[in-house]
Structure 1
Amino acid sequence: MAEPIRVLLADDEPMYLGAIRLLVDADPGVEVVAAAGTGREACELAARHRPHVAVLDVRMPDLDGIDATRRITALPDAPKVLVLTTFDLDGVVYETLRAGASGFLLKDVPPHRLLDAIRTVAAGEALLAPTVTRRLIADFLRSPAPPRVRRPLDRVTPREREVLRLITRGLSNTEIEQALHLSRHTVKTHIGHLMAKLAARDRAQLVIAGYEAGLADT
């Protein structure tokens, strides 16, 4: 039997924290190894228990979810971070992803969606719907001083740059295949090369790299 996904939970609402702990522990493929009530405690427990996934509320005392995400993803063998919030705010999503989160989910999702999200980020995939990505791009383009290149694209080939541009614009792999007339295998190969060249852990980080390289408005 495969090892259960080790999960750290962090939320400052005891009732909600208890409820999601019961939900997660009821799944034989997932195991809660620690629970925290503040962002700082979440960082300490992440370092101590080495979970595969940290599920963090974005608004916590002592240290908010964004700063906690930044610290947790800087740990050796860092867990993936899934951020929960009651507000679907684009600015929060963008800052959360820049901090290193692999996923973003509203607190009112059905229970099975939370478990699916944990499995998704544990497998190294990003949890960011194209609709959210597209709203982020619109907000990014409206900002008076959008960030520019932080990671150079000089090692990226013209075709890889085109794939990155479409990822940044929120297209799925299937949509990229159709737009560029490429096979599924070729698209996946280009994405793998981009992740290696841009030191991106998942698709969410590729979106941020594309934003910061100015590809969202091309």
Structure 2
Amino acid sequence: MINVMLVDDQTLVREGIKSLLSLSEEIEVVAEANDGDQVLNVLHHVGHQCVDVILMDISMPIQTGIDAMQGLQAANILIPVIMLTTFDDQQLVLQAIQSGAKGYLLKDVSLETLVEGIKTVHQGNTLIQPAITQRIIQGLKKRPRQDLEQQESPELTEKEKEVLRLMASGYSNKEISSAMFKSEGTVKNQVSAILSKLEVRDRTRAVLKAIELGVI
């Protein structure tokens, strides 16, 4: 059983997600907060060791999800956070990922997608939802190059760039191996090489940095 905390200022949204998750035998909602400023207090009350994953609204009126996540990090509470967002929040999504969020999902996702997303970050992986990623990609490509950090682009092979493009579309290693007709072990090694060349810790940051540098 994966224990989840919900954080959203809209009661109907929070209750809707809670009801949806109650249909899964693998997930249990053990804590709730209606704004980012309550997160630490609620976790202190229930015991942060009892929470495996936090589902948090990225945009809240008193303290945003990004602010709350930074507060968690300052308190050395390293619970993985999935940001819940809308299509209009792409700039905030970028900030959230850069601040340490393990992934992001649209608020209207299906139960299957939500459960799989929670399981993904609980297993230590990052979560990229293609529908949002494509909007982020378009937004980044429209930014003037002078607004980006002046960094030298790493030397990536064409195969590594192809893997990156599939990663940006939300493909898992297994799906990439099928699409490229390579073994899953080979793909895993290529992903590791990409992370090393881009000097990032995970797939999400690899995709975002590659887009910013104009690699893909």
Fold conserved between structures, TM > 0.5: yes
Q: What TM-score results when the alignment is normalised by the length of structure 2?
A: 0.75
Correspondence list, 1:160-175, <5 A: 163=160, 166-167=163-164, 170=168, 172=171, 173=173, 174=175
Tell me the alpha carbon deviations over residues 47-67 of structure 1, each in whole angstroms, 9 at most, x when there is no partner.
Answer: 641422110011213211122
Contact persistence 2:11–2:34 (CA under 8 A)? yes
Percent identical among aligned pairs is 29
Residue aligning to 1:186:
186
Shift of residue 46, structure 1, vs aligned partner: 4.5
Give 1:31's match in structure 2, choosing from 28, 33, 45.
28
Change (3 A) 1:115 1:165: same
Q: Report the aligned-residue RMSD.
A: 3.4
* Separation in 2, partners of 1:73, 1:167: 29
1:13 paired with 2:2, answer: no
Change (3 A) 1:175 1:28: closer
Shift of residue 146, structure 1, vs aligned partner: 3.7
Query: Alignment partner of 2:120: what SS?
Result: helix
Shift of residue 182, structure 1, vs aligned partner: 5.0
Shift of residue 10, structure 1, vs aligned partner: 0.3
Residue aligning to 2:62:
62
How many pairs are equivalent?
207
Query: Alignment partner of 1:82: what SS?
Result: strand
Residue aligning to 2:48:
49
Query: Alignment partner of 2:25: what SS?
Result: coil
Query: Alignment partner of 2:135: what SS?
Result: helix
Change (3 A) 1:187 1:25: same
Specify the code of the residue in structure 1 equivalent to 2:128: L
Residue aligning to 1:104:
104
Shift of residue 31, structure 1, vs aligned partner: 2.4
Contact persistence 1:148–1:211 (CA under 8 A)? no
* Separation in 1, partners of 2:176, 2:107: 29
Shift of residue 45, structure 1, vs aligned partner: 3.7
Query: Alignment partner of 1:121: what SS?
Result: helix
* Separation in 1, partners of 2:77, 2:162: 29
Structure 1 residues 78-87 or 131-140, which shifts more? 131-140
Residue aligning to 2:91:
91
* Separation in 2, partners of 1:64, 1:52: 20
Shift of residue 186, structure 1, vs aligned partner: 1.5
Question: What are structure 2's unaligned runs of at least 5 residues?
Answer: none
Shift of residue 164, structure 1, vs aligned partner: 6.2
1:135 paired with 2:135, answer: yes
* Separation in 1, partners of 2:200, 2:95: 18
Specify the code of the residue in structure 2 equivalent to 1:21: K
Shift of residue 36, structure 1, vs aligned partner: 0.8
Specify the code of the residue in structure 1 equivalent to 2:34: G
Change (3 A) 1:27 1:164: same
